[in-house]
Structure 1
Amino acid sequence: MRILYLSTGLFYKGGIARYSRYQVEALRRIMGPENVRVLSMMGRGPDDFEGEFQADWSGPAKEPRLRGRVAFVLAGFRSFFDRPGRPDTVVWVNHVNYGPIGWVLRTCGARAYIVNTYGLELWSGMRPHRRAALFRADHVVVDCHFSRDYIVQENMAPEDRTSVVWDPVDTERFSPGPASAEALQRYGVAVRPDRFRIITVGRLNVGSRHKGVERNIRMLSGLDPGLPVDLVVVGDGDDRPRLEALAAQLGVRERVFFAGSVPDQDLPDLYRSCHLSMLVSDRGKNRGEGIPLTPLEAAACGLPIIVGNQDGSREAVVQGVNGWCLDPFDLACQRAAVERLARDPALRERMGRAARERILQEHAFDVFVERTRTALQRVLPEPQS
């Protein structure tokens, strides 16, 4: 038995790529590396994930146009047909947008076809051929219960052919501890010991405004003036100039640190330098999250987290224990939560410990491997070594 894993991209820094890398590593552990063949439509670029990761085939670094997509599809078909044992091949597609490839290979003799789904692609107007491919999948792996419930309610796939496999976190690398002053200096983050610091991590693109960075800045500008609070924004994109201008317009530019894109090895230090993580997303067409990875990474570093209540983000929080799940548009409620934590060191320490403990229980990589094994066994009942 072997896996043919088809990915839209494994090397960029987005949450889907990171989830997919973890998933490939889990499958390699379950099946053996020699039984997992991996194709990535987008190859490695200069600003991508810095660590080592092996793919058997990858396309160009930038997001491919038609030629790159055709090359990816042809590479998938060659990988399927050029090797013996096609009836023993499980085709696993990391994004429903390319689910039709898996569906076609299933009709050509693959043992099974599995597809991943996450969030906004489900409720943003899925094209009929993609929806058909999703419905015909032997199994659908979803990164949160919110999205799985949406799939079932909208009759996109039957519940008994779905599994929820929450995102994992590298709990050794993302862990509590002192932040490296040298790392913080590289990104212009001034750590003033008398100030409370919030961190938000994500793309600063126009298409990612649902992540709520603008609302973070507006929330900051309305806090009690006597409360020393700073905001650290990690990420880059075409919306950054507008956000910087907004911070200046609201009179908080000196309290908002735009760190830009941060290499993976330095990201834990940025989390450790702060007291709270916020990613309060909203949901709508082309907007929303499955379960976002960055609050989980922050929680692994011992930070309380505040997330939105409109999408899969809410599964990251046990309300009032490791943080809060709040209305993304209720800035007054968000300010009250921030002010409470900023004034109560004992509360944030207690919530931070609970945040770390929940990550160890629910999001450690070993837990992810076992949930992936269980999903695979729904398709392949024989035990995997």
Structure 2
Amino acid sequence: MRFAKIANRLERRYRHTIVSVDGNTDCLDRLDPGLDVTVLPVDVEKGRALSLRNLARFRRVLRDRRPDLLLTYAWGAVEWGLANRLPARCPHLHFEDGFGPDEAIGRHFRRRIWFRRVALAGPTEVIVPSRLLERIALESWRIPRRRVRFIPNGIDCARFAAAPDGTALPPRRPGELLVGSVGTLRREKNFGRLLRAFAALPPDPPARLVLIGDGPDRPALEAAARDLGIGDRVDFRGNMMNPERALGLLDVFAISSDTEQMPLSLLEAMAAARPVVSTDVGDVRAMVTEENRPLVVERDDKAALTAALRRLLTDATLRRRLGNANRARVVREYGEEAMLETYDRLFEAFSRPAPPQRPA
């Protein structure tokens, strides 16, 4: 999604060849149809060990396409960094945004650490959106400081300042408050933790939990809600292409993840002037306004998560104050324009041919 925003901003100054290593191209519809984009199918072998066939295929793509700049995203594309070496065919920017469920709770596998150290050496610079990932890249992966760049995510704040669409969510029951979250329903997001914390709330004030998003864990989460006796108070809304339609309808925005770095959904909720309850993961505590930080709780403390939800649900004045402060902070610190300008300059600098060496 971030790449789509950047590509649209750069307009026709670049041609893009996109390789999806998992075959998922759902984000193509976010790209401006006027862009010069080629989706290149490449057979990718998935497994625990290094694939020499993958390296050969990737090397062949780089040889044939001769890109001015190679962009790779996350662990699934790290092999491309190795394919771009010995000798390097083009400058390389590798983006890390976080970890999947297998590395979610600090389990950074030694083989992955070593592979990143090797694959991301040479002509590669590593781009990270959070200070936590920056520290991991420097200390664990041992990437030299000069090759690690911290570029925070940014959003279109004006898009979330507009009044929400009252029809985006079902009508409220009398006196009902809404707790909501946005994200893919998969293991590392741990929406089960949010269900359990919500189920422990007292009946007054009445509240409903709204989960915006879809994913492989949805059937299990729906069953868990029924088992907890809250099935009639949990609303699974599925994917929503325009979350700004609904975020402003929520009274509390919640995150219950095992791992995050700099979640876009949090920035969007802040831009919609929502107060936040969250597990203390990634840069979440640093992102929200200072007064909201006591409501960012230890990841495995369910009682603290429930207490934070209850505190906001029972204090409308606090909700308004934190929401307004969060919006002011995201407008001040995390505007989309600054992010796009940074990437614009970065891509231009890296794709520009180096000047010829003057003779000694």
Q: TM-score, normalised by structure 2?
A: 0.81
Residue deviations 1:3-35 (CA, integer Å, cap 9, x gap) = xxxxxxxxxxxxxxx133234345x2xxx6333
What residue in structure 2 maps to residue 248 of structure 1? 226
Identify the match of residue 249 of structure 2 among 273, 292, 296: 273
Secondary structure at 1:173 match in 2: helix
The 2-side partners of 1:331 and 1:142 are apart by 30
Does the CA-based 8 Å contact 1:200-1:234 persist in structure 2? Answer: yes
TM-fit CA distance, 1:192:
3.2
The amino acid that maps onto 2:3 is S
Identify the match of residue 190 of structure 2 among 208, 212, 232: 212
2:66 corresponds to 1:57: no
2:301 corresponds to 1:336: no
1:194-343 alignment, distance < 5 Å: 194-204=175-185, 208-262=186-240, 264-265=241-242, 267-282=243-258, 288-321=259-292, 324-343=295-314
The 2-side partners of 1:145 and 1:293 are apart by 15
Identify the match of residue 118 of structure 2 among 112, 127, 132: 132
Does the CA-based 8 Å contact 1:103-1:136 persist in structure 2? Answer: no
Secondary structure at 2:157 match in 1: coil
The 2-side partners of 1:73 and 1:275 are apart by 52
The 1-side partners of 2:37 and 2:56 are apart by 14
RMSD of Structure 2 on Structure 1 (CA): 3.3
Does the CA-based 8 Å contact 1:138-1:379 persist in structure 2? Answer: no
Does the CA-based 8 Å contact 1:322-1:355 persist in structure 2? Answer: no
> Between Structure 1 and Structure 2, how many residues are aligned?
337
What residue in structure 2 maps to residue 93 of structure 1? 72
The amino acid that maps onto 2:91 is A
What residue in structure 2 maps to residue 10 of structure 1? none
TM-fit CA distance, 1:292:
1.4
The 2-side partners of 1:360 and 1:190 are apart by 30
Quick one: structure 1 residues 354 and 73, their matched pair in 2 at CA, closer, same or farther if it must change by over 3 Å?
farther
TM-fit CA distance, 1:381:
9.8
2:159 corresponds to 1:166: no
Residue deviations 1:207-233 (CA, integer Å, cap 9, x gap) = x32313111111111112222111001
Quick one: structure 1 residues 95 and 260, their matched pair in 2 at CA, closer, same or farther if it must change by over 3 Å?
same
Mark the runs of 5 or more structure 2 residues left unpaired by the alignment: 354-360
The amino acid that maps onto 1:117 is E
Mark the runs of 5 or more structure 1 residues left unpaired by the alignment: 1-17, 283-287
- State, as a whole percentage, how many aligned pairs show the same letter: 23
TM-fit CA distance, 1:80:
5.3
Identify the match of residue 144 of structure 1 among 86, 109, 130: 130
Moved more, 248-257 or 94-103: 94-103
Residue deviations 1:329-368 (CA, integer Å, cap 9, x gap) = 2122222222221122221111111222222222221111
Secondary structure at 2:211 match in 1: strand
What residue in structure 1 maps to residue 357 of structure 2? none
Does the CA-based 8 Å contact 1:163-1:375 persist in structure 2? Answer: no
What residue in structure 2 maps to residue 191 of structure 1? 172
What residue in structure 2 maps to residue 120 of structure 1? 99
Does the CA-based 8 Å contact 2:116-2:141 persist in structure 1? Answer: no
